[in-house]
Amino acid sequence: MNRTLCFRRLRALCHKETLQIIRDPSSNIIAFVLPVLLLFIFGYGINLDSSAVRIGVVLEDTSPEARHLTDNLYGSPYLAVTTGLTRSAMEEALIAGQVSGFIVIPVDYGATLKRASKPAELLVVTDGSAPNTASFVQNYLRGAWNEGLIQRTDEQGKPAMPNITFESRFWFNASAESRNYLIPGSITIIMTVIGTLLTSLVVAREWERGTMEALLASPVTRTELLLSKLLPYYVLGIISLFLCVAIAVFILNIPFRGSLLVLWGIGSLFLASCLGMGLLLSTSLRNQFNAAQAALNAAFLPALMLSGFVYEIRSMPAAVQAFTYLVPARYFVTAMQTIFQAGNVWPVLLNSSLFLLMSSVFFIGMTALKTRRGLE
Amino acid sequence: MDNAIVCLESVQKSFKGSSKPALTGFSAAILPGCVTGLVGPDGAGKTTLIRLMAGLLAPTAGSIRIQGLDPIANASTLRDAIGYMPQKFGLYEDLTVLENLQLHADLRGLLGQQRSDTFKRLLDFTDLARFTSRFAGKLSGGMKQKLGLACALLGQPRLLLLDEPGVGVDPISRRELWKMVNSLADQGIAVIWSTAYLDEAELCQHVLLMNEGQLLFYGRPAELTCRLQDRAFQIRNISVNRRKVLAMALCRPDVMDGVIQGRNVRLLLRPHATPPNPSEFNAGANAELVPVAPRFEDAFIEALGGGPGGYSELAQRLQPIIGENDTVVEAVGLTKLFGDFAATDHVNFAVKRGEIFGLLGPNGAGKSTTFRMLCGLLKPTSGTARVLGIDLKTNASEARQQLGYMAQKFSLYGNLTVKQNLMFFSGIYGLKGSQQQDMVKSMTEVFNFQALLGRKPDTLPLGFKQRLALACAIMHGPAILFLDEPTSGVDPVTRREFWTHINGMVEKGVTVIVTTHFMDEAEYCDRIALVFRGKIIAAGTPDQLKAQVASTANPDPTMEDAFITLVQSQSDLDVAKQNQSTPAPSKQAPANKETP
Amino acid sequence: MLHRIITLVLKELQTLLQDPQSRTILILPVILQLALFPSAATLEVTNNTLAVFNEDNGQQSLELIQRFSQTQAFSEVRMLYHETDIRDAIDNQQALLVIRFPVDFSRQLAAGRGAKIQALLDGRRSNSGQIAFGYVQQIIQNYSEERGNAGVLTMPSRLIFRHWFNPNLDYVRHIVPSLVAIITTISTLIVTSLSVAREHEQGTFDQLLVSPLTPNMIMVGKTLPAMLVAICQATIILLAGIFIYHIPFAGSFWLLYASMVFYILALAGFGLLISSICLTQQQSFLGVFSFVMPTILLSGFVAPIENMPVWLQYLDWFNPLTHFIVIVKGVFLKNIGLALLLQNLWPLMAIAVVTLGASAWLFNRQLD
CATH code of the domain in which B111 resides: 3.40.50.300
Q: Evaluate whether A150 touches A129 at the Cβ level (below 8 Å).
A: no
- Of C100, C115, C149, which residue constitutes the final position of a domain? C149
Do the domain assignments include residue C19? Answer: no
**Would the CB atoms of C4 and B428 count as touching at under 8 Å?**
yes
**Would the CB atoms of B414 and C19 count as touching at under 8 Å?**
no
Distances (CA, A) of B291 to A143, B241, B277, B310: 109, 21, 12, 21
**Would the CB atoms of A181 and C118 count as touching at under 8 Å?**
no
- Looking at residue B564, what is its pLDDT? 87
> Is C131 found in the same domain as C218?
no
Q: Is the minimum CB–CB distance between B79 and chain A shorter than 8 Å?
A: yes
**Which of B433, B424, B420, B466 is CA-nearest to residue B447?**
B466
User: What is the SS3 assignment for A346?
Assistant: helix
> Is B37 found in the same domain as B125?
yes
Q: How far apart are CA B421 and CA B454, in angstroms?
A: 10
Q: How far apart are CA C286 and CA C288, in angstroms?
A: 5
Do the domain assignments include residue B391? Answer: yes
Do the domain assignments include residue B470? Answer: no
Once rounded to an integer, what is the mean pLDDT over residues B135-152?
84
Min Cα–Cα distance to chain A from B471, Å: 29
Interface of A with C in 227-266 (CB under 8 A): none
Min Cα–Cα distance to chain C from A5, Å: 33
Domain segments of chain A as ranges: 19-46+177-370, 53-156
> Which has the higher per-residue pLDDT, A175 or C343?
C343
CATH number of the domain that residue C120 is part of: 3.40.1710.10
Q: How far apart are CA B545 and CA B527, in angstroms?
A: 10
**Torsion angle, CA of C38/C41/C44/C50, rounded to 10 degrees?**
120
Give exposure, A127-143, as e/b (b: 16+ Cβ within 10 Å).
bbbbbbbbbbbbbbbbb
Looking at the predicted structure, is the pLDDT value of residue B188 above 50? Answer: yes
Interface of B with C in 400-429 (CB under 8 A): 400-401, 403, 405, 407-409, 411-417, 420, 423-425, 427-429
> Is C184 found in the same domain as C82?
no
B58, B93, B102 ranked by CB distance to A374: nearest = B58
Taking phi over 0 as left and psi of -120 to 50 as alpha, with beta for the rest, B509 belongs to left
A45, A130, A135 ranked by CB distance to C308: nearest = A45
> Is C235 found in the same domain as C86?
no
- Of B201, B225, B249, which residue constitutes the final position of a domain? B225
**Eight-state DSSP code of residue A129:** T
C124, C162, C303 ranked by CB distance to A45: nearest = C303
Strand B527-532 relative to strand B535-540: parallel, antiparallel, unpaired? antiparallel
Would you identify the CATH topology of the domain A53-156? abc type-2 transporter like fold (3.40.1710)
Amino acid letter, B528:
I
Interface of A with C in 145-164 (CB under 8 A): 145-146, 149-150, 152, 159-164
> Is B261 found in the same domain as B185?
no
Which portions of chain C are predicted below pLDDT 50? 152
> Is C320 found in the same domain as C191?
yes
- Looking at residue B395, what is its pLDDT? 62
C15, C203, C210 ranked by CB distance to B415: nearest = C15
- Of B183, B204, B225, which residue constitutes the final position of a domain? B225
Among A22-36, B118-132, C147-161, name the one with the lowest average pLDDT. C147-161
Q: Is the minimum CB–CB distance between A219 and chain B shorter than 8 Å?
A: yes
Min Cα–Cα distance to chain C from B429, Å: 6
Looking at the predicted structure, is the pLDDT value of residue B174 above 90? Answer: no
> Is B64 found in the same domain as B174?
yes
Q: How confident is the model at residue A158 (pLDDT cuts 50, 70, 90)?
A: low
Number of domains in chain C: 2
A127, A334, A338 ranked by CB distance to C164: nearest = A127
> Is C241 found in the same domain as C144?
no
> Is C224 found in the same domain as C195?
yes
**Would the CB atoms of B430 and C209 count as touching at under 8 Å?**
no
Q: What is the pLDDT of residues B524-562, one digit of tens each?
A: 999 999 998 888 999 999 889 888 888 888 888 888 888
| Domain that includes residue B49, residue range | 6-225
Do the domain assignments include residue C156? Answer: no
**Would the CB atoms of C118 and A168 count as touching at under 8 Å?**
yes
Q: How far apart are CA B468 and CA A34, in angstroms?
A: 43
Once rounded to an integer, what is the mean pLDDT over residues A52-61?
88
Mutant choice from A13, A20, A27, A211 vs B, greatest count of B C-beta within 10 A: A211
Number of domains in chain B: 3
> Is B259 found in the same domain as B221?
no
**Would the CB atoms of B401 and C212 count as touching at under 8 Å?**
yes
Q: Evaluate whether C44 touches C171 at the Cβ level (below 8 Å).
A: yes
A1, A19, A210 ranked by CB distance to B87: nearest = A210
> Is B66 found in the same domain as B192?
yes
- Looking at residue B2, what is its pLDDT? 61
Q: How confident is the model at residue A247 (pLDDT cuts 50, 70, 90)?
A: very high
- Looking at residue C148, what is its pLDDT? 64
Interface of A with B in 1-20 (CB under 8 A): 1-2, 6, 8-9, 11-13, 15-16, 19-20
Q: Which residues of chain C does B377 touch, with a Cβ-Cβ cutoff of 8 Å?
A: 206, 209-210, 367
- Looking at residue B587, what is its pLDDT? 39
Q: Is the dihedral of CA A277, A281, A282, A288 positive or negative?
A: negative
Percent of chain B scored above 70 by pLDDT? 95
Q: Evaluate whether B222 touches B239 at the Cβ level (below 8 Å).
A: no
- Please name the residue of chain C whose CA is at the shortest distance from the CA of residue A48: C303
Q: How confident is the model at residue B592 (pLDDT cuts 50, 70, 90)?
A: very low
Instruction: Give the number of B-C residue pairs with CB atoms closer than 8 Å.
Output: 85
Do the domain assignments include residue C53? Answer: yes
Q: Which residues of chain B does C22 touch, with a Cβ-Cβ cutoff of 8 Å?
A: 415
Which parts of B339-479 are beta strand (E)?
A: 341-352, 356-360, 382-387, 390-391, 403-406
**Would the CB atoms of C7 and B424 count as touching at under 8 Å?**
yes
> Is B243 found in the same domain as B126?
no
Once rounded to an integer, what is the mean pLDDT over residues B280-301?
85
For residue B337, give the H/E element and its range: strand B327-338
Q: Which residues of chain A does B102 touch, with a Cβ-Cβ cutoff of 8 Å?
A: 12
Q: Could you tell me which chains touch chain C, where touching means 3 or more CB pairs under 8 A?
A: A, B
> Is C262 found in the same domain as C123?
no
The complex scores an ipTM of 0.81
Q: What is the pLDDT of residues B314-362, one digit of tens each?
A: 777 777 877 776 888 889 999 988 888 888 889 999 999 889 999 988 7
- Looking at residue B78, what is its pLDDT? 85
- Looking at residue C230, what is its pLDDT? 92
A16, A216, A218 ranked by CB distance to B108: nearest = A218
- Of C117, C149, C181, which residue constitutes the final position of a domain? C149
**Would the CB atoms of A9 and B58 count as touching at under 8 Å?**
no
> Which has the higher per-residue pLDDT, A283 or B17?
A283
> Is B249 found in the same domain as B209?
no
Q: How confident is the model at residue B434 (pLDDT cuts 50, 70, 90)?
A: very high
Do the domain assignments include residue B435? Answer: no
Among A322-326, B284-288, C281-285, name the one with the lowest average pLDDT. C281-285
- Looking at residue A176, what is its pLDDT? 66
Q: Which residues of chain B does C211 touch, with a Cβ-Cβ cutoff of 8 Å?
A: 400, 405, 425, 428-429
**Would the CB atoms of A375 and B90 count as touching at under 8 Å?**
no
Looking at the predicted structure, is the pLDDT value of residue B588 above 50? Answer: no
Looking at the predicted structure, is the pLDDT value of residue A51 above 70? Answer: no
> Which has the higher per-residue pLDDT, B559 or B423?
B423
- Looking at residue B585, what is its pLDDT? 45
For residue C232, give the H/E element and its range: helix C215-243
Among B160-164, B261-265, C146-150, name the one with the lowest average pLDDT. C146-150
Distances (CA, A) of C234 to A88, B100, C40, C264: 33, 50, 20, 11
CATH number of the domain that residue B264 is part of: 3.30.70
- Looking at residue B304, what is its pLDDT? 80
> Is C274 found in the same domain as C207?
yes
Mutant choice from C15, C210, C217 vs B, greatest count of B C-beta within 10 A: C210
Instruction: Give the number of A-C residue pairs with CB atoms closer than 8 Å.
Output: 323
**Number of residues that make up chain C:** 368
> Is C192 found in the same domain as C127?
no
Q: Is the dihedral of CA B576, B582, B587, B590 positive or negative?
A: negative
Q: How far apart are CA A173 and CA C121, in angstroms?
A: 9
Q: Is the minimum CB–CB distance between A93 and chain B shorter than 8 Å?
A: no
- Looking at residue C363, what is its pLDDT? 81
Taking phi over 0 as left and psi of -120 to 50 as alpha, with beta for the rest, B188 belongs to left
Min Cα–Cα distance to chain A from B456, Å: 18
User: What is the SS3 assignment for A126?
Assistant: strand
> Is B152 found in the same domain as B77?
yes
> Which has the higher per-residue pLDDT, A210 or C318?
C318
- Please name the residue of chain A whose CA is at the shortest distance from the CA of residue C167: A128
Mean of the per-residue pLDDT values for chain B?
85
Interface of A with C in 195-224 (CB under 8 A): 201
Instruction: Give the number of A-B residue pairs with CB atoms closer than 8 Å.
Output: 88
- Looking at residue B594, what is its pLDDT? 32
> Is C307 found in the same domain as C220?
yes
> Is B221 found in the same domain as B191?
yes
- Please name the residue of chain B whose CA is at the shortest distance from the CA of residue A218: B79
| Domain that includes residue C86, residue range | 48-149
> Is C304 found in the same domain as C211?
yes
Do the domain assignments include residue B371? Answer: yes
Q: How far apart are CA B469 and CA A136, in angstroms?
A: 64
Q: Is the minimum CB–CB distance between A330 and chain C shorter than 8 Å?
A: no
Q: Secondary structure of chain C: what % helix, strand, coil (to 5)?
A: 70, 10, 20
Do the domain assignments include residue C218? Answer: yes
Distance of CA C256 to the CA centre of its chain: 18
Do the domain assignments include residue C56? Answer: yes
Burial class, B582, CB count within 10 angstroms (exposed 0-12 / middle 13-18 / buried 19+): middle
